[in-house]
Every structure is written in structure tokens, then in C-alpha cells.
């Protein structure tokens, strides 16, 4: 786990990796590594132990709570205040101004995005697969914020050379955004290679978010670092986190 540098004072952002010192053994080789997802067939006690280990690690930075979502490839974004939720909320975006409350977003090829303002008073995390990006998860998350975000961080996702999509996916994007540049023809007829990083940067720029960090890794190609659903259909999930100290 590494923290992102170059952010406003008091803002912490990072993403977990497959390898972690607190990883527990499993009899399912496909789920080996620091899996944080309950919905992939892993042993629930193992997953909760991983989550508690992560919370313990983040406590050193003043974190007292982690908020997880039941992610649905939607454009639903929730504000996190002081309420206590006994069941995870459903959606794909979280926003908070609460200090010490870490927002968690799970991925294994989809693009995790963190947004924040220049004063470090608010932070948001969102889960952007191609459906979420095309349907407006970035716009919905920005609309849920009380500040105007001016920076973003793009966590590891599947990169363009590894992400083949059909013509209908390209059409869905290009009907809404001028992002033809983010697609190139694949060797397979009628297929295209899509650049989620480029699409996200384009949408963010439309909303004045020009300071964009990250966006260089590939979950599919970097098997030692990241889980990838396209590479291994049964696999774990990383978590992208953001919190205000």
C-alpha cells in the first residue's frame, strides 16, 4: 500500500495491492492475495480479517471507520455524514467532509477515481467501469460534492492495450462525449481498444478538474500487483481509499 503524494495537506489517498503483509492463507488459489471483497466467493472471516488489518494500518493516520459499498455499476453517489449504516449502501460513489472516515472503493479492472478540493476539506471516491463512465458517475459524484473539485487521482485499472470492447461500447461513449480519440481499432474485426484513463481525463476536464494524477498502471498486465477480472474471472478485489486526517 502506497499513499499518493502531491495532494493538499491532510488528504490521504491510496490503493491496496495483491501483496500485503497481513494476507491470510486460502484454499482457493484464485483468491490468494489481499482480497477485500465479500462477493467473490472468499471466506467471509478471511475478508473481514483483511479489512480489519487495513483499518488497523490506517488508524495510525487517525482513521476510525471504513465505509464500503455494494457496488452496482450505477451512477448513485452517497454523502457520508455521521450516520451509522448497518448494511452497506448500494452505489458507486462516496463523498465526505468527515475527518478520519475513510471511503473505500473496490476494483479489479474498473477505474477507481478520487476527487478533492484545493483546501482539503472534502474528498470523494468513485467506481468507474465503462458503464459508470458512460452513464455519468463522474458528473453525479461532482454534483454530490459541496465544494468544486480541482484535482483527481486515477487508480490502477485495465489499460487500453488490454481492454477490448465492442462497437456498441464505443458508440455509447461517442454519443455522449467527443472521445473518439480514446478508441483504436483492435486486430479483431468490429472490436476496439478503449482507454478508460483518457475518457476519465476528458470528462474531468469538462468540469474544470485539470490536475489529474495517476493513470499509468494496468491491472491486467501487472499480475504481481493487481487483481484483474478480465485476466482471471474468479479473483479478488483491491480497494482504493481516501480520507481526511
- Each domain of the chain, given as residue ranges in start order, spans 2-160+217-244
Provide mean pLDDT across the span 149-169. 98
CB of 109 within 8 A of CB of 159? Answer: no
CATH domain 2-160+217-244 topology: 3.60.140
CB of 69 within 8 A of CB of 105? Answer: yes
**pLDDT value at position 84?**
65
Q: How far is C-alpha 78 from the chain's CA centre?
A: 15
Q: How far is CA 232 from CA 108, 187, 227, in A?
A: 10, 22, 8
pLDDT-based confidence at 2, cuts 50/70/90?
confident
pLDDT at 91 over 80: yes
pLDDT at 88 over 90: no
**pLDDT tens figures, 5-54:** 999 999 999 999 999 999 999 999 999 999 999 999 999 999 999 999 99
**pLDDT tens figures, 167-218:** 999 999 999 999 999 999 999 999 999 999 999 999 999 999 999 999 999 9
In this structure, the number of other CB atoms found within 10 A of the CB of residue 93 comes to 30
Q: How far apart are the first and last CA of the chain?
A: 17
Provide mean pLDDT across the span 117-142. 98
Q: How far is CA 243 from CA 8, 51, 111, 176, 219, in A?
A: 12, 16, 18, 32, 23
Amino acid at each position: 500500500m502506497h499513499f499518493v503524494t502531491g495532494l493538499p495537506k491532510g488528504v490521504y489517498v491510496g490503493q491496496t495491492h495483491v501483496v500485503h503483509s497481513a494476507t491470510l492463507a486460502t484454499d482457493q488459489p484464485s483468491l490468494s492475495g489481499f482480497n477485500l471483497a465479500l462477493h467473490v466467493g472468499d471466506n467471509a472471516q478471511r475478508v473481514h480479517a483483511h479489512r480489519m488489518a487495513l483499518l488497523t494500518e490506517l488508524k495510525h493516520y487517525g482513521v476510525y471507520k471504513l465505509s464500503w459499498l455494494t457496488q452496482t455499476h450505477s451512477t448513485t453517489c452517497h454523502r457520508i455524514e455521521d450516520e451509522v449504516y448497518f448494511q452497506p449502501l448500494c452505489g458507486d460513489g462516496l463523498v465526505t467532509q468527515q475527518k478520519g472516515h475513510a471511503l473505500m472503493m473496490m476494483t479489479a479492472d474498473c477505474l477507481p477515481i478520487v476527487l478533492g478540493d484545493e483546501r482539503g476539506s472534502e474528498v470523494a471516491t468513485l467506481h468507474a467501469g465503462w458503464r459508470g463512465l458512460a452513464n455519468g458517475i463522474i458528473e453525479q459524484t461532482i454534483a454530490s460534492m459541496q465544494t468544486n473539485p480541482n484535482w483527481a487521482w486515477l487508480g490502477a485499472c485495465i489499460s487500453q492495450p488490454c481492454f477490448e470492447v465492442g462497437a456498441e461500447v464505443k458508440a455509447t461513449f461517442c454519443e455522449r462525449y467527443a472521445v473518439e480519440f480514446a478508441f483504436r481499432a483492435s486486430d479483431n474485426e468490429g472490436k476496439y481498444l478503449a482507454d478508460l484513463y483518457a475518457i476519465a481525463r476528458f470528462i474531468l476536464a469538462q468540469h474544470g478538474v485539470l490536475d489529474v494524477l495517476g493513470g499509468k498502471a494496468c491491472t491486467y498486465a501487472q499480475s504481481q500487483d493487481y487483481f484483474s477480472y478480465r485476466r482471471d474471472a474468479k479473483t479478488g478485489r483491491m480497494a482504493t481509499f481516501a480520507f481526511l486526517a
